[in-house]
A and B are shown apart, each in its own frame.
Chain A
Amino acid sequence: MIPAVFALPPSFGVKDFAAHRGGSIMFDGLDFTLASGDALLVTGVNGSGKSSLLRALAGLLPAGGTAFWQCERIGLRSLEHRTHLAYIGHLDALKPELTVAAQITYWQALDPNLTAKPSTTALEFFDLNALRDCPVRLLSAGQKRRLSLCRLLLTAAPLWLLDEPATALDATGQQRLEDLIAAHRKSGGMVILATHQALALPDATRLDMNNMGSAVTGTPTLSAFERDMMDL
Chain B
Amino acid sequence: MKAFFHLLGCEFRLHLRHASRNAGLILFFLLIIVLLPFAIGPEPDLLRRLAPGLIWLAALLMSLLALDDLFIADARDGTLDLMQLSTLPLPLIIAGKMLAQIAIILLAILVMLPPAAFMLGMEWTILPVLAGTFILGLPVLFLLGGVMGAITVGLRRHPALLTLLLTPLYIPALIFAVSACDAAVLRQSIWPVFCLLGAMLALLIPTAPILIAAILRQDQS
Q: Are A and B direct contacts in the complex by CB distance below 8 Å?
A: yes
A-chain residues with CB within 8 Å of residue B88 when the two chains form the complex: 110-112
Contact B86 A102 (CB under 8 A): no
B-chain residues with CB within 8 Å of residue A107 when the two chains form the complex: 82
**Residue from A87, A90, A105 within 8 A of B85 (CB atoms):** A87
B11 nearest CB across to chain A (Å): 8
Contact A110 B79 (CB under 8 A): yes
CA–CA, A87 and B86, complex, Å: 10
B-chain residues with CB within 8 Å of residue A111 when the two chains form the complex: 82-83, 85-88
**Residue from A21, A58, A89, A106 within 8 A of B221 (CB atoms):** A21
CA–CA, A98 and B220, complex, Å: 26
A199 at the interface (CB under 8 A from B): no
A-chain residues with CB within 8 Å of residue B86 when the two chains form the complex: 82, 110-113
Contact A55 B220 (CB under 8 A): yes
Give the number of residue pairs across the A-B interface with Cβ within 8 Å: 76
Considering only CB atoms, which chain B residue lies closest to A92 in the complex? B78
Contact A110 B7 (CB under 8 A): yes
CA–CA, A22 and B83, complex, Å: 24
A192 nearest CB across to chain B (Å): 15
A93 at the interface (CB under 8 A from B): yes
User: Beyond A55-B220, A82-B87, A111-B86, is A93–B17 a contact (Cβ under 8 Å)?
Assistant: no
Contact A91 B81 (CB under 8 A): yes
A79 at the interface (CB under 8 A from B): yes
A31 at the interface (CB under 8 A from B): no
**Residue from B6, B78, B84, B220 within 8 A of A90 (CB atoms):** B78
A-chain residues with CB within 8 Å of residue B34 when the two chains form the complex: none
**Residue from B3, B17, B81 within 8 A of A89 (CB atoms):** B81
CA–CA, A117 and B221, complex, Å: 31
Considering only CB atoms, which chain B residue lies closest to A58 in the complex? B85
Contact B77 A60 (CB under 8 A): no
B13 at the interface (CB under 8 A from A): yes
A94 at the interface (CB under 8 A from B): yes
A-chain residues with CB within 8 Å of residue B79 when the two chains form the complex: 93, 95, 110
B93 at the interface (CB under 8 A from A): yes
Known: A1-B87, A58-B85, A98-B14. 15 other contacts (CB 8 A): A55-B220, A60-B85, A61-B220, A82-B86, A93-B81, A94-B77, A97-B14, A102-B13, A102-B17, A109-B9, A110-B7, A110-B86, A111-B82, A111-B87, A111-B88
B residues apposed to A, CB below 8 Å? 3, 6-7, 9-10, 13-14, 17-18, 76-79, 81-88, 93, 217, 220-221
Q: List 13 A-B contacts (CB under 8 A).
A: A91-B78, A94-B77, A95-B77, A97-B14, A97-B17, A98-B17, A105-B10, A106-B14, A110-B10, A110-B93, A111-B86, A111-B87, A112-B88
